[in-house]
Chains A and B, each alone.
Chain A
Amino acid sequence: MSMGAQDQAIRTGRITRMFIYVVLIFFALFYLLPFFIMMINSVKPLEEITGGNMMALPSEYTFAPWVSAWGSAQIGVEATGLKPYFMNSILMVVPAVAISTVLGAMNGYILTKWQFRGSNILFGLMLFSCFIPFQIVLIPMARVMGTIGLAGTTSGLILVHVVYGIGFSTLYFRNYYAAFPTELVRAAMMDGAGFFRIFWRIMLPVSGPIAVVCIIWQFTNIWNDFLFGASFADLDSMPMTVALNNLVNSSTGVKAYNVDFAGAILAALPTLLVYIVAGRYFVRGLMAGSVKG
């Protein structure tokens, strides 16, 4: 990658470099360990886990735990597996990410190129709203959801995630558009281009990198959310994280560790996939943002 290519000023001796490699590899193993353990134990028969070594490779491979976690494990009253909850999460995350990203792009565009009195204070309020502990809005949100009839529905969760996602998506687009030459926008205005036309023809075509960052961020956050899901969803709209927690922490019957591990990987798969496919753009975008401080 391009960053590694730059000239390095620090010179290190042989022994030091050995030490550096040892430390780096040790931490690589530390980060990989839990995922490795989840993987190998999700394809073992249960007896091999309870009676054997968690670190050992399976002596007998079986995909039954995966099949069970996906399609037949007991989550709620019925043994449905995680499948319906996985679908709930998809139905929730796609519109929530789309809406909050579009709103964020529009807001960022307005807050940088159509500034008005007080727009900076507004931005400050939005910035602060990104960091509030959600416990402070939990009670009124539960009330409002009940009143407008969205309690226990996927639409309700979409609303929650859009509302509390706007802060971050606006933040990303605002900081990105702030670096975009305003003269170009001015010139387009002189030529008679209007608000939407400028957005569509000038801002949107250059928004790729930041849109990727925003989408990955929102997707990860919304998919991984547990608090809102646990507070506002019922059995029909329960997202994946809540279902997984129910599966893992249910106290009835024999603990099927292998099914738990398979379920955990299923819950991690979408965000891991997004990370593997688009992660480098995310890091690059984040880095571009944080270098400025």
Chain B
Amino acid sequence: MARSDRAPQDLRTVLQNWLPKIVLSPSLAAMLIFVYGFIAYTIYLSFTGSKMLPSYDLVGFENYARLFGLSAWTTALINLAIFATLYIVICIVIGLVLAIFLDQKIRGEGMLRPIYLYPMALSFIVTGTAWKWLLDPGIGLENTMHLWGWESFEFGWIKDRDMAIYTLVIAAVWQSSGFVMAMFLAGLRGIDNEMLKAAQIDGASNWNLYRRIVIPLLRPAFLSAFVILAHLAIKSYDLVIALTGGGPGRATELPATFMYSYTFTRNQMGVGAASAVIMLMGIAAIMVPYVYAELKEQK
């Protein structure tokens, strides 16, 4: 009777085999069109003379040449470099310190953790609004210090061309550092305590324990934090709009705000598309190796 097992597949079995692929196909189609198709379209536009509307006449690398000739774009790139470096470094330092401290059997941990984490639930528009007034010299911190009697206190960074970019860092760090703390805390809680105890019996000081053993073990958490923060920094748009609107002047212009204004308000779609392509390349340089490593590890 075993022979009948090999009977031709009936419709039900065939359907059963195809069903997963059929169910997956709408998502797949959406992804191919809306992500990869759109990327291809934007790349194509970046090589055309599109102004207010897309046009399809190819102009070679003209948009890229123009883009890198624009002082606004140079400003945006320099600002991004300053912002991203400080944002990533400060978030990681604060996140790591808070996580290590919070890991010392702290009383009230259950209360502190949600306080550190809640800013990540807020929109950058809300965060920006709050910090905008806090940093405003007229009504915010500076004014408060004056009223408290510290007359010489000055904090007008948000109105200062050279310093405004740092106010973005303050607000962004406030928003994201708690999240980084949670990632490090998860990493710390995953470390085997027996190993630490053994090292301590061997006479290692706390400082050495962390420097030599714990922090190296947190490598995956460092990597995840870096990848997430770097991609957030490159995409940053909302915060700039809410906090400074790109100003004063162009002092807080970032690639994301540059792309939007050149594409939709200055009618230079070709240049805007080219700037978007550069942004994608920046993110891809970070994400592709990460995604690749992630997939390889899971095999």
Contacts and interface: CB of A to CB of B under 8 A. Distances in A.
A235 interface: no
B221 A290 contact: yes
Contacts of A138: 259-260, 263, 276
A120 B104 contact: no
Q: How big is chain B's contact interface, by range?
A: 35 or more
B226 interface: no
Given A133-B280, A244-B126, A248-B242, A125 B101 contact: no
Contacts of B185: 287
Contacts of B209: 10
Contacts of A120: 295, 299
Contacts of B275: 135
Interface residues of A, number: 102
A38 interface: yes
Contact of B41 (A28, A139, A241, A276): A139
B134 A37 contact: yes
Contacts of B288: 128
Contacts of B116: 27-28, 31
B186 A290 contact: yes
Interface stretch (A16-24, A80-88, A205-213): A16-24
A12 B206 contact: yes
Interface stretch (B62-70, B81-89, B154-162, B229-237): B229-237
The 6 tightest CB contacts between A and B, nearest first, are A293-B220, A224-B123, A114-B20, A287-B186, A9-B196, A275-B121
Interface of B: 16, 19-21, 23-24, 26-28, 30-31, 34-39, 41-42, 45, 54, 94, 97-98, 101-106, 109-110, 112-127, 129-134, 139-141, 143-144, 147-148, 174, 178, 182-183, 185-187, 189-190, 193, 196-197, 200, 206, 209, 220-221, 223-224, 231, 234-235, 237-238, 241-242, 245, 255-256, 259-260, 263-264, 269, 272-273, 275-277, 279-280, 283-284, 287-288, 291-292, 294-295, 297-299
Interface of A: 1, 3-4, 6-12, 17, 20-21, 23-24, 27-28, 30-35, 37-38, 41, 49-50, 52-55, 103, 106-107, 110-111, 114, 116, 120, 122-129, 131-141, 143, 162-164, 166-167, 170, 178, 194-196, 220, 223-227, 230-231, 241, 244-245, 248-249, 257, 260-261, 264, 267-268, 271-272, 274-276, 279-280, 283, 286-287, 290-291, 293
